[in-house]
Amino acid sequence: MTRRLLIAAACLALITVPLWIGNNYYVNIASQILIYAVFALGLNVLVGYAGLVSLGHAGLFGVGCYAAAWLLAGGFGHLTAALIALLIILATSAAFAVLSLRTSGIGFVMITLALGQILWGLAYRWIGLTGGDNGINVPSRPAPFGLSLASAAPFYYFTLIVFALAVASMAVFVASPFGASLRGTRDQPRRMTALGYNVWLIRFLAFLFSGFWSGVAGLLFCYFNEFVSPNVLALSSSAEVLLMVISGGSGTLLGPIAGAALVVIMKNVASAYIERWNFVLGAIFVAIVIFMPEGLVPGSVRLWRWLWAGARRFPVRGGVR
Amino acid sequence: MSQWLLLGVNSITLGGLLFLLSAGFSLIFGLMRIPNLTHGSFFMLGAYLGVTFLGLGFDFWLAALLAAAAMAVVGGGIERLLLRRLQGQELAQVLVTLGLSFMIADLCLMLWGGDPIPLDTPPGLGGAVPIASIVFPTYRLAIVAIAVVIAVLLWLMLERTRLGAMIRAGVDDPAMARVTGIRVSRLFTIVFCLGAAIAGFAGVIGGPILSVYPGLDSDMLPLALIVVILGGTGSLLGALVGSLIIGFLYNYGQVLFPELAYIILFLPMLLILLFRPQGLFGSRVP
């Protein structure tokens, strides 16, 4: 019951963000958090539920970005551009999946990293297609049903709707038999094979699902910035979203969302005070992996309990033995 | 014609540098089963340390050796202090090396600034050697010679010494190596020190050609990654052949298809992944 109340409160808070947050700058940060939350939810399908850590997801995010930007800059309408971009995202995800699912574990990490770097190289060096470092400008944000998304609040609501769809699809997926079989392939791939499941196909479909939402996030990001540059495909971008998933707690529904909020807020706060965001990112990464591998939320609870238990085990009484 | 030959020499030079980078990467991968994502950072940090040592008035080669020694300490420290805590958790180790690579990159940017720093060619090697009517830059030939010497030394170490035999045993079967009394965990530290030192050394001697700039690490790391996927993990010969292939593809691709050079680089990797996932000379799928 309290759980439902909490969810209702969270929904209400999300819906009313532009009303109480005041400044457009903060509304835009909220939109960014939602976009990255969609991205992190997408990656979480692989990292959390399939046990496959991808370091190339910025590639899929970037393909969504670039496909939409290129089509829009080429004069296509918004609906056509979005649909074609979604097809391209699915095709790229399928290609990534076919190549990387030949292995799992560390091999998977390496191959996805290399594939991500290929796409980064394409965006950076194939100047004729992508404009290289200059990137591509997007002429306008879409206007679904004639509603303009040009200002911050309407765009926030647009993002919120997509985010809600993503969360809903994740909730359905996690509860579905398919979600259960995916977790099965994560924990016991050989037993799943012995039970007659096609492990490869399950992972392939999960990869498509994951790539789809990552690409959709990319599409949103392209609308948000109205500009794309090779930076969105960089390895640091893949690492950032992986940090969101891991820091929030992979394999949970809320973890990646919390992680996205944490990283985006930290990034904005950190860059206001210090230039060294990448150093902070790296340091947090190392600290989380070493001290709280299960994620910040469960990790802090465990650390707190441990400290509490430690304090009670060694009560402070005069003198040290 | 001579232009293509010169390009060939450049390719072999790059191949030599890549070999120095990926030999350590490959050994670490073979032994510890993890791609060390800080390896590109070792290359860059070594190069920057070389810049500092040169600024202090050291001789070029001494600066390179000092940078190598410093990198050995850094590499060993990372292995002992961080990776050792996560023994057996390969994924966590990879993520730690990734986090470290960001930290090192940002640290270098903070300490040495964002402008590319060109290194002077060491005195005496600045000229060019005419061989059969074609003029080859001396320094590039010197790099090739150094790479060959280090390759031979590494090969002798691996094939002819007790330490090398232990490393090979660890690469083939760590559990069995432990049972026979080899301290595999100590090998981890040794290989990490060695790999970092060679990478740092390569960074300095590559400086006069590549110059030192922020982003050098993320330019070199994928190359080392492809080399190892091509050649197979833990194989010195694989690293050598892979480096040469990539050296040639990179240089000729750059001239023939400037916009697609980067893609061409990855094509052989895709083919290998599809048809021979253990790599050309590897025995195990990563």
* Alpha carbon distances (Å) from B187 to A147, A185, A208, B195: 64, 34, 41, 12
For chain A, the first-to-last Cα distance in angstroms comes to 50
* Domain at B39, CATH number: 1.10.3470
Chain B interface, Cβ < 8 Å to A:
33-35, 82, 85-86, 89-92, 94-96, 98-107, 110, 218, 222, 225-226, 229, 258-263, 265-266, 269-270, 273-274, 277, 285-286
Residue numbers in chain B where pLDDT is lower than 70: 1, 132-133, 283-286
CB-nearest partner of A107 from B96, B226, B286: B286
Chain A residues in contact with B265 by the CB 8 A cut-off are 121
pLDDT for B284? 65
pLDDT for B283? 67
A284 and chain B in contact, CB less than 8 A: yes
d(CA B276, CA A259): 38
CB-nearest partner of A106 from B35, B86, B106: B35
pLDDT for A311? 62
Q: Does a structural domain hold residue B281?
A: no
CA distance B62 to chain A (A): 30
d(CA A118, CA B15): 20
Average pLDDT, chain A: 84
Question: A198-237 pLDDT, tens per residue?
Answer: 999 999 999 999 999 999 999 999 988 888 888 888 888 8
pLDDT for A135? 79
Average pLDDT over residues A239-260: 86
Contact check, Cβ <8 Å, B99/A284: yes
- Give the residue from B202, B234, B194, B204 showing the smallest Cα distance to B76: B194
Q: State the total domains in chain B.
A: 1
Contact check, Cβ <8 Å, A286/B86: no
Question: B184-229 pLDDT, tens per residue?
Answer: 888 889 999 999 999 999 999 998 888 898 888 888 888 888 888 8
d(CA B274, CA A100): 10
Q: Domain range spanning residue B260?
A: 2-275
A107 and chain B in contact, CB less than 8 A: yes
pLDDT for A318? 41
Q: Does a structural domain hold residue B104?
A: yes
d(CA A16, CA A145): 22
pLDDT for A76? 83
Residue A319 has pLDDT above 60, yes or no: no
pLDDT for B41? 93
Q: Is ipTM > 0.95 here? A: no
Q: Give the β-pairing of A227-228 and B128-131.
A: unpaired
pLDDT for A321? 34
Residue B279: closest CA among chain A residues belongs to which residue? A107
In A, residues 181-240, which contact B (CB 8 Å cutoff)? 234-236, 239
Residue B99: closest CA among chain A residues belongs to which residue? A282
Scanning the structure block, which residue is given the tokens 């903060």?
A26
Question: A140-172 pLDDT, tens per residue?
Answer: 777 777 777 777 788 888 999 999 999 999 999
Q: Does a structural domain hold residue B282?
A: no
Question: A25-76 pLDDT, tens per residue?
Answer: 888 888 999 999 999 999 999 998 998 989 889 999 999 999 988 888 888 8
Q: How confident is the model at residue A316 (pLDDT cuts 50, 70, 90)?
A: very low
d(CA A40, CA A240): 9
CA distance A232 to chain B (A): 15
CA distance B217 to chain A (A): 12
Helix, strand, coil percentages for chain B (3-state, nearest 5): 75, 5, 20
Residue A119: closest CA among chain B residues belongs to which residue? B263
Question: A80-97 pLDDT, tens per residue?
Answer: 888 999 999 999 999 999
Please give the CATH architecture assigned to the domain spanning A25-293.
Orthogonal Bundle (1.10)
CB-nearest partner of B273 from A102, A125, A235: A102
